[in-house]
């Protein structure tokens, strides 16, 4: 399959697409600019949130929960933003990517700006406002999503070159980490999503593609993103959740290389996705 370009290259580091009817469609991030982008019928809306905006998910009842540089923020239905207390004070670490679990809790993982091995963690925000660290020793915390039956969670720590899978239950959280699949040809996994058949779609950030893996780890498909190497994340959207939106980046690229990097792409992959999991707080 081959994706088509649907916007100009408007993001320096496009990331984190998510479809929600609360927003009337698709939002994604210009992460290092700290901006949330919204695809509308008339164009693209851009809203600045923080120095870094790492992940956004809808809240039940409206608004959003957002991963910002050093922690979490809540957006009300009217757009009012409430920043929660910072989780750390160091300027060496920032949030990077996350998602919501089947019980309405929001996770966001971090990374060191210099990508120091093992310096990052995965953090959780509960609906009552409590926070906890659920995984340590991470280098570049990336995609996180659950299986259709909610019993498994899939997760990327990019430098490992592999997609991990955890068992999941409300009481015990993420347990029994093991490898689902290594990316071929020294691929590096970035954002991921899961379709209604339980297959995992993974952005290969150094290969210009999104890969589909079956629940047993078998490579089952590939979407080429033309003219772009840094493919960062993917999410299903559209009224029937049958369109895969793909974000790209031009971080650290010379101005005269890959002119479409930073654009939003999409493909109709022949399968449907799952509704976005919402934050219960």
- CB-CB contact of 136 with 121 (8 Å): yes
CA 2 to CA 278: how far, in whole Å?
Answer: 30
Question: Count of CB atoms within 10 A of residue 5's CB?
Answer: 17
CA 128 to CA 101: how far, in whole Å?
Answer: 15
CA 157 to CA 219: how far, in whole Å?
Answer: 19
List the catalytic residue out of 190, 195, 216, 242.
190
Q: What does each C-alpha distance from 238 to 19, 21, 242, 272, 276 come to in angstroms?
A: 8, 9, 6, 10, 12
Phi-psi region of 186 (alpha: psi -120 to 50; beta: other; left: phi over 0): left
Q: What does each C-alpha distance from 42 to 8, 16, 39, 45, 276 come to in angstroms?
A: 14, 21, 8, 9, 24
190 part of the active site: yes
Burial 218-230 (b: 16+ CB within 10 A, else e): eeeeebbbeebbb
- Catalytic positions are 190
């Amino acid at each position: 399959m081959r994706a088509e370009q649907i916007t100009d290259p408007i993001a320096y580091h496009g990331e984190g697409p998510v479809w929600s009817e609360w927003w009337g469609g698709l939002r994604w991030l210009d992460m290092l600019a700290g901006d949330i982008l919204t695809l509308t019928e008339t164009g693209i809306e851009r809203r600045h949130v923080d120095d870094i905006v790492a992940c956004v998910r809808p809240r039940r009842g409206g608004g959003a929960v957002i991963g910002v540089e050093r922690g979490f923020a809540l957006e009300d239905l009217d757009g009012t933003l409430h920043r929660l207390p910072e989780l750390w004070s160091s300027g060496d670490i920032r949030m990077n990517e996350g998602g919501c679990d089947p019980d309405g809790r929001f996770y966001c993982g971090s990374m060191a700006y210099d990508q120091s091995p093992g310096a990052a963690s995965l953090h959780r925000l509960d609906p009552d406002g409590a926070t906890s660290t659920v995984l340590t020793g991470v280098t570049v915390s990336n995609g996180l999503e659950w299986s259709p039956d909610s019993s498994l969670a899939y997760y990327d720590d990019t430098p490992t070159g592999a997609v991990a899978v955890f068992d999941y239950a409300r009481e015990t959280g993420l347990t029994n980490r093991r490898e689902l699949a290594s990316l071929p040809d020294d691929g590096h996994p970035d954002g991921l999503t899961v379709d209604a058949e339980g297959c995992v779609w993974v952005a290969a950030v150094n290969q210009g593609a999104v890969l589909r893996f079956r629940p047993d780890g078998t490579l089952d498909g590939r979407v080429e993103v033309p003219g772009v190497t840094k493919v960062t994340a993917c999410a299903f959207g559209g009224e029937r959740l049958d369109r895969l939106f793909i974000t790209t980046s031009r971080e650290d690229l010379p101005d005269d290389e890959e002119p479409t990097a930073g654009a939003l792409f999409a493909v109709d992959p022949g399968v449907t996705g799952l509704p976005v999991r919402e934050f219960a707080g």
